[in-house]
Amino acid sequence: MPNAHVICGEGGTFIHLGWTTVSTFAPIERFPLATLAVARGTPFIDIRPVTDVIAFANLPRVARDGSENHDHSDASRAVLLTTCIDTVEGLGARILNDPRPRQ
């Protein structure tokens, strides 16, 4: 699925699969479905090291269908997963199964 990913933060672990999100308040180590998804190659974004919560809160959401949408206001703007990863990595997140093309 375009832009499917797993994200882990202080609030728990989330699997984003386009229009569906599955979550738990447990870390990824206690969420077998998320662990399996990462093991099978789903991109994993660990935001636990991010300390700038204001910058993180202002990030655009990841597009559900794999297409960017810059026509909306910042609050409803949608970007590609790779664009989101570029930004959140700059804030200190760790990335596993990175979907970005290698430089």
For residue range 61-98, what is the model confidence (pLDDT) as tens digits?
A: 888 766 666 555 555 678 899 999 999 999 999 999 99
Instruction: Please give the structure tokens belonging to residue 98.
Output: 């990175």
Q: What is the mean pLDDT of the chain?
A: 87
Counting Cβ atoms within 10 Å, is residue 61 exposed (0-12), middle (13-18) or buried (19+)?
Answer: middle
Tokens of 53: 């919560």
Distance separating alpha carbons of residues 82 and 71, to the nearest angstrom: 19
Residue type, 67: S
At 81, which helix (H) or strand (E)? helix 81-90
Number of domains in the chain: 1
Q: Is residue 26 part of a domain?
A: yes
**Predicted pLDDT at 78:** 85
103: in domain: no
Residue 55 lies in a domain: yes
- Assigned domain for 101 exists: no
Domain residue limits at 18: 5-96
Whole-angstrom Cα distance, residue 11 to residue 86? Answer: 22
* pLDDT for res 39: 95
Domain membership flag for residue 72: yes
| pTM (two decimals) | 0.84
Is residue 70 in some structural domain?
Answer: yes
Mean pLDDT, rounded, for 39-53: 95
Distance CA 36, CA 44 (A): 11
pLDDT score for 71: 58
Q: Which two tokens stand for residue 48?
A: 């636990």
82 inside domain: yes
